[in-house]
Amino acid sequence: MNLIDKTALITGGASGIGKATVMEFARSGARVICADIDATKGADLVKEADKFSVEFVAVDLADSASARRCAAEVLERHGRVDILVNAAGWNNIQPFLENTPDYMDRVLAINLGGLLHLTQALLPAMIAANKGKIVNISSDAGRVGSSGETTYAAAKGGVIAFTKSLAREVARYSINVNCICPGPTDTPMLQSRPEKLREAFVRAIPFRRFAKPQEIADAILFFASSRSDYITGQVLSVSGGLTFAG
């Protein structure tokens, strides 16, 4: 799929699903800005993608001011963003009763609050251009719940609701807003989980394996491309059949 002459901003782009998406978009011809809190990994990614047009911008999505500064910096460089992929996410697995207030605030900020601030800051330029693609990365935890991830599921459920509501608001400006819900994916965050938990995840997945980050990136590319021009407000699970949510 061709993204030539498109400018794309991808949050969480220095590792995991975000990194796979950065590389896939770059190979498809886009100018890609990787936004991430990890400047070292971001610099490494820019070097790795030296044959392509990939930039890095620092952002801490737990800080609303940082999210808005990121948007301002990108708009100063490029004028507008044609494609926004809100891929950054973070949580730990623990019973809800063990969630501290600081932990809950951080999970909600990174997975939902920062996304809201960044998207709002970038939208006026999309509206002025009368076009744009926004792809939000939620989780099947936000569709059907997940034990040990209750606050995370609440945040990701919010991402789904945000996707549907925003899609209605901006359809008149030819802006598409869609959502991908990955299941367990072979990322550094998943590899940090206890082995027994990972084994339980695999047993629950009909395909009996984790998703590859590239497989999530392929779905994101579809929603970012012209092939989805008549699709908006939709939620797509990419989870190997782990969930069958309505």
Catalytic site positions: 152
* Rounded alpha-carbon distances, angstroms, from residue 87 to 15, 176, 216: 10, 16, 10
Using the structure block, give the residue that is written with the tokens 């730990």: 92
Q: How far, in Å, CA of 54 to CA of 30, rounded?
A: 9
Which ranges in 8-63 belong to alpha helices (H)?
A: 16-27, 39-48
Residue 36 has which token pair? 């991430």
**CA distance linking residue 190 with residue 197, whole number of Å:** 10
Separation of alpha carbons 13 and 19, rounded Å? 5
Look up residue 169 and give its two tokens.
Answer: 């608001």
